[in-house]
């Protein structure tokens, strides 16, 4: 009996032997050796997609299977969003499905037919891709894959990156709250110079700042990735960039809390005593560009000490501006002389005075025209 698949993970994907030789690299990506008990460890295409270990599943999937799976995911996504999916699109997808009875009497095994011209499937793929915009086929397939992933941490997020960031955010929050409740952290001690403490107290302060920076960095990463997921434009290839930004945020938050004193930013008691440094750590974690701007300004300040005084720098810039104006004036005079010479060559005994007047007006307009 034929079963139409509602879930790709409930069917085995197989490669037709007569169409693809077992020695092919693509076939090797789907077949694994038997274990020590003689049980086949064959990994189906959908199982490979669902596995967290196979994050870059496109490299292990041939194009026909990839296009079919993306079409199936996009059709399911569009229907769930209430979009109008044509019956022809569903029929074109089903035309590439072939079922064979399972040996153990279970559900029929799903195969992708390879004798059909793939042009129909590609046209359907292009149509569905336009239908689900701004979402992308890669993101929709990833979300579909992650929905089938059986994990206890699924309640933390739809994709593995979100779950990982959520765990890091929870750990940062636990560190922040635990140390804030300890005797080593209070308003008076945080308002003091960071280097004034030593031993366990110094370690507690630095760990507290790292926890605060982790809160800011994880907040920024989760906010950004949530925006991409909600729009359906999340790119798994950029997963490493989130962790790079997170680490940069930790470093930035820690350095800002250490380098900037609370007295330099305290203004009329608006902020409570000891709040400045944790706030700097959170801000640095949220935006690593804050530390980059701060360090860049310090570099420019130190460079000015070696390159000359501020007045000499201003004099050099003034001289450069005067030189540019002089060159511009020479260019204007040369252009004016050229226009006058051209007009002189054209003036003759039969020249219309109105035409000469019009040429003079054009020259004057070019002179006063802003550039």
Per-position DSSP letters for 135-176, written without gaps between them = S-HHHHHHHHHHHT---TTGGG-SSHHHHHHHHHHHHHHHHH
Does 22 score more than 50 pLDDT? no
- Tokens coding 114: 């390879």
Phi, psi dihedral angles at 323 (to 5 degrees): -65, -40
pLDDT in tens, 178-218: 998 888 888 787 877 777 778 888 899 899 999 999 999 99
- Tokens coding 324: 């540019």
- Tokens coding 183: 């005797």
Q: How confident is the model at residue 273 (pLDDT cuts 50, 70, 90)?
A: confident
Using alpha carbons only, how large is the chain's radius of gyration in Å? 34
Exposed, middle or buried by CB within 10 Å (0-12, 13-18, 19+), for 58? Answer: middle
Phi, psi dihedral angles at 287 (to 5 degrees): -140, 105
Lateral strand order in the sheet of 13-14: 13-14, 109-112, 97-100
Residue 57 CA to residue 61 CA, distance in Å, equals 6
Length in residues, the chain: 371
Residue 16 CA to residue 140 CA, distance in Å, equals 27
Element (H, E) at 10: none
Phi, psi dihedral angles at 14 (to 5 degrees): -130, 155
Residue 76 CA to residue 79 CA, distance in Å, equals 5
8 A C-beta contact, residue 77 and residue 33: no
Q: Is 100 helix (H, G, I), strand (E, B) or coil?
A: strand
Q: In which residue are the tokens 């206890």 written?
A: 152
Does 20 score more than 50 pLDDT? no
What is the chain's mean pLDDT, rounded? 75
Q: How confident is the model at residue 358 (pLDDT cuts 50, 70, 90)?
A: confident
Please state the rounded mean pLDDT for residues 309-325.
Answer: 75
Which of 145-154, 162-171, 278-287, 349-358 reaches the highest mean pLDDT? 162-171
DSSP state of 269: T
| Residues β-bridged to residue 366 | none
Please report how the helices 137-147 and 199-231 are oriented relative to each other, as an axis angle in degrees rounded to 10.
Answer: 110
User: According to the model, what pLDDT value does residue 102 have?
Assistant: 67
pLDDT in tens, 142-179: 888 887 777 777 788 878 889 999 999 999 999 999 99
User: According to the model, what pLDDT value does residue 105 have?
Assistant: 63
Q: Taking the model in full, what pTM does it have?
A: 0.58
| H-state helical runs in the chain | 25-30, 45-50, 63-80, 87-94, 119-131, 137-147, 160-180, 187-191, 199-231, 239-259, 276-286, 289-307, 310-346, 353-368
- Tokens coding 322: 């005067």
User: According to the model, what pLDDT value does residue 122 have?
Assistant: 92
Does 244 score more than 90 pLDDT? yes
Residue 242 CA to residue 238 CA, distance in Å, equals 7
């Amino acid at each position: 009996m034929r079963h139409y698949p509602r879930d790709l993970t409930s069917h085995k994907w197989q490669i037709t032997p007569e169409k693809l030789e077992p020695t092919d690299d693509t076939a090797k990506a789907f077949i694994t050796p038997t274990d020590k008990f003689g049980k086949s460890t064959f990994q189906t295409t959908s199982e490979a997609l669902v596995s967290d270990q196979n994050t870059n599943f496109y490299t292990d999937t041939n194009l026909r299977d990839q296009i079919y799976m993306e079409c199936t995911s996009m059709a399911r996504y569009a229907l769930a969003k209430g979009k109008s999916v044509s019956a022809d699109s569903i029929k074109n997808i089903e035309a590439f499905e072939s079922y064979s009875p399972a040996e153990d009497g279970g559900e029929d095994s799903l195969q992708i037919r390879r004798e059909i011209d793939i042009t129909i499937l590609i046209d359907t793929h292009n149509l569905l891709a336009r239908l689900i915009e701004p979402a992308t086929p890669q993101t929709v397939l990833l979300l579909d894959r992650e929905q089938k992933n059986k994990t206890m941490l699924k309640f933390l997020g739809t994709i593995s990156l979100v779950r990982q960031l959520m765990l890091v955010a929870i750990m940062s929050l636990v560190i922040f709250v635990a140390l804030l409740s300890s005797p080593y952290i209070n308003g008076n001690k945080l308002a003091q110079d960071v280097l004034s403490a030593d031993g366990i107290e110094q370690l507690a302060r630095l760990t507290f700042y790292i926890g605060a920076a982790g809160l800011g960095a994880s907040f920024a990463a989760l906010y950004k990735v949530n925006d991409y997921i909600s729009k359906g434009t999340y790119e798994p290839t950029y997963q490493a960039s989130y962790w790079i930004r997170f680490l940069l945020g930790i470093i930035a938050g820690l350095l800002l809390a250490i380098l900037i004193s609370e007295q330099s930013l305290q203004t009329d008691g608006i902020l409570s005593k000891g709040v400045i440094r944790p706030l700097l750590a959170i801000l640095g974690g949220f935006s690593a560009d804050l530390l980059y701007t701060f360090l860049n300004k310090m570099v420019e300040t130190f460079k000015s000490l070696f390159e000359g005084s501020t007045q000499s720098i201003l004099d050099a810039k003034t001289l450069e501006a005067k030189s540019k104006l002089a060159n511009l004036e020479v260019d204007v005079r040369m252009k004016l002389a050229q226009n006058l010479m051209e007009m002189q060559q054209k003036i003759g005994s039969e020249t219309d005075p109105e035409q000469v007047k019009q040429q003079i007006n054009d020259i004057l307009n070019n002179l006063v025209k802003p550039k």
